[in-house]
Amino acid sequence: MDTTQRIVSALVIGGCGSLGHRVVERLLKLEPPPQVSVFDLNTTQNRLPSVEYYDVDISDRYQVYSALSKVRPQVIFHTASPPPGLLDLPLYMKELGTKAFVYTSSASVVHDSVSDLIEGDDSLPLVYLPVQQEIYSHSKAVADQLVLDSNSTTEGGMLTTSIRPSGIFGENDATAKGFVDTAAAGKLKFQIGNGNNLFDWTYNENLVDAHILAAQALLKSHIEPPSADMRVAGEGFLISNDEHMPFWEFARAIGDAAGHPTRKEDVRVIPKIVGLAMATIAEWVVWITSFGRKKSRMNRIGIRYSCMTRTYRIDKAKRRLGYKPRVSLREAIQRAGKSFSNELKKTK
């Protein structure tokens, strides 16, 4: 971290969520700690002392502006995912004196969510519908571009950047829980595809580091404008643990760490085409039997992701942000898996 560039006050949008509250925790550990505020739909969970919490619907223009007028943060970390068309950054931020805006995007914004992507980097363009196959990734790309377009290099303007993580996971989060539940049910012995497809993951504590580094770089840019090849403002940065791992190996490692091991000799391989056919049938059955109110847990999107290769290069983040994963992928897997093992012990 850049200890010379102090964050005086910070707002974390989505600060009660899985990633957001970890950003809050890290901010409070800075010396000296900044004044931290949180906007979220429901601020009853993951609360921390000395933090100001505001129940705010970020899709409501009046609520956002009213709360921002009270907080007036120096830095904003946006870790929630609102409808992209509602990000009116010039109105909400610049006139309130905000100096830096760090947006949590996704590595999927430069990928079509279907084909293999090998060693993708930050030179790749954002991908939109209809080439983009997922509406979530499309909306993230739209919001990502809005954030970068709102970057202002005029004196006193707000500098912006987008952080694009690949496969976020951590203790007690939804991604890790999904793999743990699948392992506990014995379903990880069924593998779709040959299992050789590499995938990139990002431990949430490392991702928090990237957010703090980005904010500090933006604040420093107000004082010492960097050279073009070191610019952070108006730029997007792919983030990962910088360690490729086969998708199914990662899934089983999470389950193993949680106390639900899957023996290699028990693994049965299902061809991708068969898996897609099974998912299609499951989607239709659940849709029909629930009268369209529910979605199948087994779906084509999940099958495609479990079979694709998707790896990235994060050279730009390393060089311009000074980002380096502090927690290795193996250590992160152990921490994430054991968090569910510990929770199970508490209930017994």
**Is 220 designated active site?**
no
Q: Are 336 and 176 in contact (CB under 8 A)?
A: yes
DSSP characters for 42-84?
--SSS--TT-EEEE--TT-HHHHHHHHHHH--SEEEE-S---G
CA distance 259 to 331: 16
Among 160, 105, 111, 103, CA closest to 312? 111
CA distance 260 to 338: 11
Q: Are 75 and 100 in contact (CB under 8 A)?
A: yes
| Residue of 29, 140, 294, 346 with catalytic role | 140
Give, rounded to a whole angstrom, the gap between the first and last alpha carbons of the chain: 41
CA distance 199 to 246: 6
DSSP one-letter code for 187: G
Q: What one-letter code names the amino acid at 334?
A: Q
CA distance 233 to 148: 8
Active-site residue set = 140
